[in-house]
Structure 1
Amino acid sequence: MPQDSPRELLAQITLSDDEPVSKSQLKREMHALQALGEAIIAMTPGERARFPLSDDMLAAVEETSRIRSHEGRRRHMQYVGKVMRREDLEAIKAVYDELEKETLRRDHAFHRLESWRDRLLDEGDEALEAFIDDYPDVDRQTLRQLIRNAQRERERDKPPASARKLFKLIRDTAGM
């Protein structure tokens, strides 16, 4: 069975009880709820704590870590799917959307920092002045030294230890 993202799993589940649903659709929803439960179980405890989960679901999540046998885990995941039917799926979707937005923001910020590092190594003094204009509190001497060392490492095809240190300095300066 291909791994769907929680967003795709939530899209498979019909949230309205107005229209009749086929047996096949019910089965797809059951599998989607089970997979959504597995995705929630796989999250870090901090992420999981943000979801509005019932006590039954929290107990099922906790129980999962104690199950070792394959067949026992399979049956337990069916139980998790059954418990997920009683959860507030709209609230779970809202929390998941917020987590997804935070991840996107973090990824964009990370890419901006990487582009600063690349600019500092490729463009030299021009990029250095632009970086100092944006972040005047940066330790300029350390920044220049790391840029020189990273450029030397790149020329000599050595491991990018100074480039990593440069990235760490940029990240710390940007407050991330």
Structure 2
Amino acid sequence: MAQDDDRAGSGAGHDPGDHDPGDHDAADGQGAAGGRGNPALTSRAAILAVVVCAIALSLAYPVREYIAQRKEIADLRHKEALARAQVEELARRKQQLGDKSYIEREATRRLHYCRPDVKCYIVLDGSGGEGRQTHRGGPPSRPPWYETLWRSVEAADRPR
């Protein structure tokens, strides 16, 4: 009970709830100029702050690594999707190249091959363009690559 009286304030006749905040006694030792406050609360707050900082610092690196790994996983999934699309495209292309009629069409279209049982014609427009074909109303087209190659071989064979 003696401890309760000391905590209550200035005397034995005061209740703890009756304490007036404007009433400061110099005999308390808790005056406005000489008061320290409650040191146990301050040390507890400091310890709590240190513990929270320690926990935050100990979790910072694992959280950063977790985020980096999630980003790497997302990048790898994107690359996997691109690779799967490329594999599907190559499988479709392989199937297309396995078709004999497709190969014949491409050989005729790109390489100007002609099957033995088919008559092929070369149409000359009579402009005398020395093997060059000109489009009407447009710039002259370039000769085929093999003609350019042959001309460069002939030019290299000529003595200087």
TM-score normalised by structure 1 residue count = 0.23
> Which structure features the higher share of helix residues?
1
Higher-Rg structure is: 2
TM-score where L is the length of structure 2: 0.25
